[in-house]
Amino acid sequence: MKNAFLTIVAATLASGLALLAPTNAFADDHAEAEKPKWSLAIHGGAGTILPENITPEQRVAYEAALQEALDAGTEVLKNGGSAMDAVTAAIIPMEDNPLFNAGRGAVFTWEGENELDASIMDGRDRSAGAVTGIKTVKNPILLANKVRTDSPHVFLMGEGAEQFAGEQGFEVTPPEWFATERRRESLERMKARELSSLDVDLKFGTVGAVALDQNGNLAAGTSTGGMTGKRWGRIGDAPVIGAGTYADNRSCAVSATGWGEYFIRVGVAQEICTRLRIGPSLNEILERPEGERRLITNPKSFVDPQVVASNAQSTADSVIAEIQELGGDGGIILVTPEGHAIYSFNTAGMYRGRANSDGLNEVAIFGGEEAEASNTPDH
């Protein structure tokens, strides 16, 4: 009898909680659905990015590079292009720019090479492509997408991935294209002083983009050189679908940057999307502040854009807080099906930007630069 009662309580709670999923509630909001909207967020890595750590000239250069990437993705979305095209359009200029740890300007492995990783995911059908250990492809994000569209696989590595690239008509780019003095010096300093990669990198320079297009489709992509001095074929989270990249039209699109080992263990990108798809657990609801708890337990409140945005923010913040509890750091960018573009990071700063069809267009570097707070609670 007691068991039957518990089953009824559980079933009632489950159906109540299912209603909390933002996408379900939003399907009824016709006014919102009629207006085609798009949204884009980008990142160029998180880390110890403080005003005293970068010169005014560097700041200007980073802001210009972020703006260039944001503009490239915006151009695609505002002209009705797909979220997938916007993600690659935004990532390519950052892969080509030596300021970021992706493509040209990637960090060096212990053996003194540049080994590149990238992944991309389409929220329409959750098709995905990823590559790791790439040494001769100029834009690894394009190769990851080719794996998605023209191979029966999701994840290719090293020589095999490069053989596939050759067969698909990608040009061979010489290693000198990727190598920069600044990154070589970081590796040498690390070896000479027996420093960790975190000591020399100070920041994670991985790049990523997430987008919502006017047809309501989501996409996410991430590209990186990994971490300075990586050895033994180490692979971080960036090319791992579910860890560094995830997109699902039912919940969100996420791209991460940070200490990859922790992001893999938590499965950060998919964890955030799954929590948004099924709604917060009872424990999570109990942990939220009183006001938010009242809103979140009322399914009707999910037609309120502020509630949808704050739920996405709290969800992302709580997953990033888990990374912190385990001893890791980094951050994410996220776009929801309703078009909210959100950042969450537990580092001092994150190179980032966002734009949308309502006229938002901003780039930022340090914590708390935006008008709306979007950092983790401890900032």
* Cα 215 from Cα 364, distance rounded (Å): 28
Catalytic residue among 109, 180, 206, 224: 206
Q: Give me the DSSP letters along 222-291.
A: EEE---TTB-TT---STTSBTTTEEEETTTEEEEEEE-HHHHHHHTHHHHHHHHHHH---HHHHHHS-HH
Examine residue 258 and tell whether it contacts ligand ASP (CB under 6 A): yes
Q: What is the 3-state secondary structure (H, E, C) of 43-98?
A: EEEEECCCHHHCCHHHHHHHHHHHHHHHHHHHHHHHCCCCHHHHHHHHHHHHHHCC
Examine residue 328 and tell whether it contacts ligand ASP (CB under 6 A): no
* Cα 177 from Cα 21, distance rounded (Å): 46
Q: How far is the CB of 224 from ligand ASP (least distance, A)?
A: 5
Segment near ligand ASP (CB under 6 A), from 49-57, 58-66, 254-262, 293-301? 254-262
Examine residue 376 and tell whether it contacts ligand ASP (CB under 6 A): no
Q: DSSP 3-state assignment of 151?
A: coil
Nearest to 119 by CA among 127, 111, 109: 127
DSSP count for the chain of H helices, then E strands: 14, 12
Amino acid at 155: F
Residues 311 and 280 sit within 8 Å (Cβ to Cβ):
yes
Q: Which residues does residue 157 pair with via DSSP β-bridges, in sequence order? A: 132
CB atoms within 10 A of CB 231: 8
206 is annotated as an active-site residue: yes
Among positions 108, 164, 204, 343, the unique one binding ligand ASP when judged by CB under 6 A: 204
Examine residue 206 and tell whether it contacts ligand ASP (CB under 6 A): yes
Q: How far is the CB of 347 from ligand ASP (least distance, A)?
A: 10
Examine residue 347 and tell whether it contacts ligand ASP (CB under 6 A): no
Q: DSSP 3-state assignment of 23?
A: helix
Examine residue 101 and tell whether it contacts ligand ASP (CB under 6 A): yes
DSSP 341: E
CB of 237 or CB of 271, closer to ligand ASP: 237
∠ CA(221), CA(223), CA(227), 5° rounding? Answer: 140
CB of 22 or CB of 47, closer to ligand ASP: 47
CB of 66 or CB of 238, closer to ligand ASP: 238
CB of 250 or CB of 265, closer to ligand ASP: 265
Examine residue 229 and tell whether it contacts ligand ASP (CB under 6 A): no
Examine residue 223 and tell whether it contacts ligand ASP (CB under 6 A): no
Examine residue 257 and tell whether it contacts ligand ASP (CB under 6 A): yes
Examine residue 238 and tell whether it contacts ligand ASP (CB under 6 A): yes
CB of 105 or CB of 280, closer to ligand ASP: 105
Among positions 93, 98, 133, 236, the unique one binding ligand ASP when judged by CB under 6 A: 236
Binding marks (x or -) toward ligand ASP, 25..64, rule CB under 6 A? --------------------x-------------------
Examine residue 140 and tell whether it contacts ligand ASP (CB under 6 A): no
Q: Which H helix or E strand runs over 345?
A: strand 341-345
Enzyme catalytic residues = 206
Contacts with ligand ASP by CB under 6 A lie at 45, 101, 204-206, 224, 226-227, 236-238, 257-258, 260
